[in-house]
Amino acid sequence: MIILRLKDVMACTGLGRSSVYKFITEGRFPKPVALGDRAVGWVEEEVQDWIRARVAARDGKTVDGQLISVTEGGPHHV
Which tens digit of pLDDT belongs to each residue from 33-44?
999 999 999 999
Q: Which sequence spans correspond to the domains of the chain?
A: 3-77
CB 28 within 8 A of CB 73: yes
- Given this model, what pLDDT does residue 75 score? 56
Question: Residue 59: which H helix or E strand, with range?
Answer: helix 44-59
Among positive and negative, which fits the CA dihedral 10, 27, 50, 45?
Answer: positive
Residue 61: what pLDDT?
A: 80
What integer pLDDT is reported at residue 66 of this predicted model?
A: 62
- 1's CB contacts (< 8 A; 6+ apart) are 43, 44, 45
Please list, in sequence order, all residues whose beta carbon lies within 8 angstroms of the beta carbon of residue 10, skipping any fewer than 6 positions away: 16, 17, 20
